[in-house]
Amino acid sequence: MYYIFGIIILVAVISLYYYFKPEKKVTKDVFNAEYYRGLNYILNNQEDRAFKIFTALMDVDSSTIETHLALGGLYRKRGEFDKAILIHQNLLSRPTLEQELKNQALYELAKDFHSAGLYDRSEKIFKNLSEFSSYNLSCSEELIKLYEVTKDWDAAIEIVNNLKVDEINNHKKDLLVSQYLCEISSDHYENSEIERAVAVSKKAQKSYPDCLRSLLQLAEYYSSRDVKLSLQYYYNAIIIDESFAKYILNKIIGLSKNSENDSSVLDTVNTISEIKSLTFIPDIFIYLFYQLDKETALRYSDKFRGNDEFEEFLINSTIVISGNEDIVKTSMIETMLDSYKKIFSKDFLFLCKSCGYKSTVLNWLCPSCNNWCTSSPKTTFDLIGANAKNVRQ
């Protein structure tokens, strides 16, 4: 009995092997002269001529299908979406196209539609293709990119949550969900729906505890209602990402414009001044100098002496600015911010760690390389300092 059963399985396996074994395509290696002529046009950047030859060849020679796929991709990269669409639609119009090649052409066509801004058509193809298990992940990733462009955050969250992988488009799943929630929160805030904004930012924080953005949002939302809570969120944000310390310090000191909050702000600045891993921050020195006394400020700056000559220069310059005897005591904070503005531009430049894109606004999604959370704030002084270090090395 087992013997017969074994033979049946063996026969089935052998039949399946022969059924699915890739056929040797004899025509694949037999290219005609026209094909080489077309290839030559591509190499000489004469894609128009190549395109005509390949289109003519496509009807007679199935071996050029992959070349067409490559050519279509090439056109898309060059921004000639109409030509890319035409090539891929041409391929799809072949009645004898195998399923796998058809899927490949559809995938490319959906990418063309996305690039051309025809999002509905792109979405439809990607959704259908994602039903095939081999296309599920790649199509889901493309759909996520599409929803990021169209700002359909709920749809993006749904896809991310349904995928059983840890990373999507080179980002952790939790990080993506938290960013999408922060986007939704930001929309609520702009519509003055503060309670909803707070709730969604808290959800983002819960789904990804390292989410700096949700902490900054909560700090901002609470800044006019509960300064102590706002300060706590800002402090937690510095702990999560110290490269944002100067940027956040600026916001913290901004809270002291209302004199009622002075003591809470001072406590927070003092606590931050004790964080050993931070570099010298002029805002802290100037704030301590005006809000407390010169000795406390100098005690703070002394901790950084001898670390680095550029930092030394920053400390000395900060002391010179702060030592201005003419400062009128009553408008201490304004004067402090003004003098700081004069010497070190308070405006931050946001630099993408991944592609080097510079912007005057903080982009959580880099418009150049499409990565999340890769931009960090730099002062003019940071940029000069980094250059100086590079020159010295």
Positions touching Zn ion (CB under 5 A) are: 352, 354-355, 357, 366, 368-369
Cβ 165 to Zn ion shortest distance, Å:
23
Cβ 80 to Zn ion shortest distance, Å:
25
Core vs surface per residue 161-187: b (16+ CB within 10 A) or e = eeeeeeebeeeebbbbbbbbbbbbbbe
d(CA 82, CA 40): 23
Nearer to Zn ion by Cβ, of 269 and 366: the residue is: 366
Cβ 279 to Zn ion shortest distance, Å:
24
Place of tokens 């931009």: 375
Cβ 375 to Zn ion shortest distance, Å:
7
Phi, psi angle pair for 305, to nearest 5°? -65, 140
- Sign of the alpha-carbon dihedral angle for 338, 343, 345, 346: negative
Nearer to Zn ion by Cβ, of 264 and 359: the residue is: 359
Nearer to Zn ion by Cβ, of 129 and 176: the residue is: 176
First to last CA, the chain: 79
Report whether 309 contacts 316 (CB < 8 A). no
Size of the chain, expressed as the number of residues it contains: 393
- Sign of the alpha-carbon dihedral angle for 233, 235, 240, 246: positive
Cβ 171 to Zn ion shortest distance, Å:
13
Nearer to Zn ion by Cβ, of 50 and 366: the residue is: 366
Nearer to Zn ion by Cβ, of 339 and 354: the residue is: 354
Nearer to Zn ion by Cβ, of 357 and 364: the residue is: 357
Nearer to Zn ion by Cβ, of 234 and 372: the residue is: 372
Q: What is the DSSP string of 20-69?
A: HSPPP-GGGG---HHHHHHHHHHHTT-HHHHHHHHHHHHTT-GGGHHHHH
Cβ 326 to Zn ion shortest distance, Å:
44
Burial of 87 (0-12, 13-18, 19+ CB in 10 A): buried
| Residue 278: strand pairing partners | none
Nearer to Zn ion by Cβ, of 105 and 351: the residue is: 351
d(CA 313, CA 232): 31
Cβ 374 to Zn ion shortest distance, Å:
5
Cβ 355 to Zn ion shortest distance, Å:
3
Q: What is the DSSP string of 272-322?
A: HHT-TTS---HHHHHHHHHHT-HHHHHHHHHTTTTS-HHHHHHHHHHHHHH
